[in-house]
Amino acid sequence: MALPAYRHLLRSITLAFRNDTRLLTSALSSARSNFESCRSLPRADAATKVAHAEEVAEVLRRNVVQGMSEAKEGEKFRK
């Protein structure tokens, strides 16, 4: 149950931050440390953490957009 959620979260992080190496590395490290810290939780508490990880993965896949500036002046961005 936790392993598929972890893999889904890692894939979502990789897709959301693929062009930002610093943020990608930080997010992957944070996901790993959060899962490692919850390793010894009881099954009921672990289920809520797994559900939270799935929700975070969905938010990353659907709502995060990374923009890059096209011009030095003004508010012009591209995906």
Cβ neighbors of 23 (< 8 A, separation 6 or more) are: 17
Q: Count CB-CB contacts under 10 A for residue 62.
A: 10
CA–CA dist 59, 40 (Å, integer): 26
* % of the chain surpassing 90 pLDDT: 58
pLDDT in tens, 27-36: 999 999 999 9
The model carries a pTM of 0.78
Whether residue 61 contacts residue 15, with contact meaning beta carbons closer than 8 Å, is answered with yes
